[in-house]
Amino acid sequence: MALPYQWQMRVQRWKSLFGGMFGRGERRPQLCPACGSLVGINATRCHQCGANLRFGLAVWSKGLSEFFGGHAPVTSALLIINVVMFVAEVLGTMHAGRLGGLSILWGMDPETTYRLGASYPYAIRVLDQWYRLVTAMFLHGGLIHIGFNMMVLLDIGPVVEELYGSARYLFIYIFTGAVGFAMSMFFHPALGASGALMGLLGVLIAVSGKRGSMEARALRSRLISWVISVFALGFFIGADNVAHFGGLASGFILGKVMADRLPVNSREQNRAYLFGWLAGLVTLASFVLMFLHYSDHLPGTR
């Protein structure tokens, strides 16, 4: 019996991902994932840039991009992780007996968010649980919180990903989000994707400032107005404006120092892949550490 069409497409994606990563799969001429040159069927290295066509950062990055599909695969992956983590928060809150009425809108169980890696000053600075600077950006305080942040992610994430490429975009997102929590950890507990999202806004403000067209100036004005509104709203509802500022400032600096275009040669491409994989591995390691510490005693409960 043939598989349903949806499952056939999934199997084909998995074969493309896991086969393409090691150079297996259908034998046909291919494009070098590092420089884009056409290479032969039996080639193991690109004749132009020397990249390994069977194993390497470029091959893995291409495979992951094809797996998630679309023109913004990292944005899709970030959305999925945020939703999965929110489901984990809801289940933990239900298990703690704290999910009732409209509490799902803005009322996750504090112990659950702590165990899932929210940013807590004591845990980071005293217990050296630095992984929380990363895991906290994938947690949210309720349905309203994640709903608003994911709408912003889907609005501006693909723009930055298309501008810089998926690898550098992932680095920008993780780096600016972590910087935001690194600043706020001196003041209060925090969680949410808004620090990283402000980092994306900071990048776009910096990029629009490099261009002198009327469209760029208009975009810059809208972005600045948006930032002012975010800080004003944060002030009134008690949001983490310290993390917002950290993400915005670090994103602005990256936007000033990074070339605001796709990599143009294999050297730039490999450097971009290196930054992207560094951010990805740091994120993966942070989640592994979170799982390892999940059952630890809460501070002050021993």
Of 8-22, 70-84, 147-161, the least confident: 8-22
Q: What is the pTM of this model?
A: 0.77
Split at pLDDT 50, 70, 90, the class of 234 is: confident
CB 138 within 8 A of CB 79: no
Number of domains in the chain: 1
Residue 57: inside a domain: no
pLDDT, the chain, mean: 81
Q: Quote the percentage of the chain above a pLDDT of 70.
A: 75
Domain that residue 231 falls in: 73-291
3-state secondary structure of 55: coil
Residue 297: inside a domain: no
3-state secondary structure of 241: helix
Residue 140 or residue 55, greater confidence: 140
H helix or E strand, kind and range, residue 30: strand 30-31
Residue 6: inside a domain: no
Residue 48: inside a domain: no
What tokens were used for 132? 């929380």
* pLDDT for the residue 223: 87
Of 4-13, 51-60, 206-215, 233-242, the least confident: 51-60
* pLDDT for the residue 302: 56
What tokens were used for 141? 């305080």
Split at pLDDT 50, 70, 90, the class of 252 is: very high
- Per-residue pLDDT averaged across 264-284, rounded? 90
Of 2-6, 16-20, 185-189, 260-264, the least confident: 16-20
Q: What is the pLDDT of residues 9-56, one digit of tens each?
A: 655 655 554 444 434 444 444 555 555 555 555 665 665 665 555 545
Residue 122: inside a domain: yes
Residue 24 or residue 146, greater confidence: 146
Residue 15 or residue 276, greater confidence: 276
Residue 67 has pLDDT above 50, yes or no: no
At 269, which CATH number? 1.20.1540.10
Residue 264: inside a domain: yes
